[in-house]
Structure 1
Amino acid sequence: MTSRAEAIDPIVRERLACPQDHGPLIDAGDELYNPRLRVAYRIDTDGIPVMLIDEARKVDDAEHERLVSGQ
């Protein structure tokens, strides 16, 4: 099954960046993840990334390690 992150149009995905530091994001299932700030942005059920700073979810150390290791 394809994750929401994988389902984003490649042209759109290439242009998506973190709204806080403007850096690249990691595909993390149904979210896009910024490992520098340790925040995740959800992708709604319609496949639209919610790139709002106020809605970003903080990620703890254990989840951060899992996400950056690609597991």
Structure 2
Amino acid sequence: MKPDDPLLKILACPLDKGPLHLVPADGPEQTEVLYNPRLQRRYPIVDGIPQLLPSSGEQVSDDEHNELLKRTAP
């Protein structure tokens, strides 16, 4: 998924219905994710398809939250 993908403008967190931020992969062993900084939840992107079921989201720690915010695409 690209940061300028029009799909990003309509994707929303399934829990609070707010916008999500694309976080690019940071190395070959990581994958890109969609991130909701308000709830500190990340959602995986598998084979280019965002997994936006509430059960597929993961809560992140405060340290990981800060790291994800640094990597968030503008």
Aligned counterparts, 1:21-60, within 5 A: 21-29=16-24, 30-45=32-47, 47-60=48-61
In 2: Cα distance, 1:65 partner to 1:59 partner? 10
* Percentage of identical aligned residues: 40
Of Structure 1 and Structure 2, which has the larger fraction of its residues in strand? 2
Question: Runs of 4+ in structure 1 displaced over 3 angstroms?
Answer: none
Of Structure 1 and Structure 2, which has the larger fraction of its residues in helix? 1
Q: TM-score, normalised by structure 1?
A: 0.79
Match of 1:17 among 12, 15, 25: 12
Q: TM-score, normalised by structure 2?
A: 0.76
* Aligned CA-pair RMSD: 1.9
Counterpart amino acid of 1:13?
L
Checking the alignment, whether the CA contact within 8 Å between 2:8 and 2:20 is kept in structure 1 is: no
In 2: Cα distance, 1:52 partner to 1:15 partner? 15
Segments of structure 2 that go 5 or more residues without pairing to the other structure are 25-31
Number of residue pairs matched?
65
